[in-house]
Amino acid sequence: MSDATSPLTEARFCYALLMSPFGARRKRALTDVELYDYAVGSLARKMRTVAELKRLLRQRVEPSEGGAMAVEVVIAKLKEQKYLNDSRYAASYSQYRQSNEKFGRRRVVTDLKAKGVHSEVTQQAVNAAYEGVNEEQLARQFLERKRLKKPQNERESARIFRTLVRGGFSAGTIFKVLKRWNVDDEVLTALSSEAEESAQE
């Protein structure tokens, strides 16, 4: 018997297949009651949007029409019991990201969109969280949290620019911050093309 067909080789192959993503076992499908309890437990550990919870629950039911219906029933029940509310989630999330993490409004809008929150709900929550907020001051606080100081050269200026773009601040605010740090006009001109590209993405 060749090594290729030996019992040891076959066992190794089966183990490798089992440990690979393709051979990963699906978790046992939950009953309706178990699915509801699982959902409540999940929400107790962490606030989630409707879309996030649906994605989580779909992994614990049979991939069938019956499984999909079970998920919808649980979601409807949680909404009715006010355990699940995208408006409340978006308001809490926006307020935290603004006041604690100092992110710009664009970043919060993008993140809520990725979490599956409806655009109207997102805009309402973000507008409320950022009402009366001085964006330039917020951008400076954001840089302080990142421990970034006045740039000494073009490379550092570009780094600050990109950090603020990722932080969700508008090009106008970013240039105000850099101008107050007396960054050369040539550097600002070079960065302005990046700002236009970022705005189009």
Question: Which amino acid does the sequence have at 200?
Answer: Q
Question: Which amino acid does the sequence have at 34?
Answer: E
Tell me, what's the pLDDT at 23? 45
Q: What are the residues whose beta carbons fall under 8 Å from the beta carbon of 161, sequence distance 6 or more?
A: 174, 178, 191, 194, 195
Tell me, what's the pLDDT at 22? 47
Tokens standing for residue 89: 């989630």
Tokens standing for residue 163: 């950090």
Tell me, what's the pLDDT at 17? 46
Phi, psi of 132 (to 5 degrees): 75, 5
Tell me, what's the pLDDT at 192? 76
d(CA 198, CA 201): 5
Distances (CA, A) of 108 to 126, 140, 197: 7, 17, 20
Tell me, what's the pLDDT at 201? 55
pLDDT beneath 50, residues of the chain: 1-4, 13-24
Tell me, what's the pLDDT at 112? 97
Tell me, what's the pLDDT at 189? 82
CA nearest to 136, candidates 97, 176, 184 = 176
Tell me, what's the pLDDT at 12? 55
Phi, psi of 91 (to 5 degrees): -65, -45
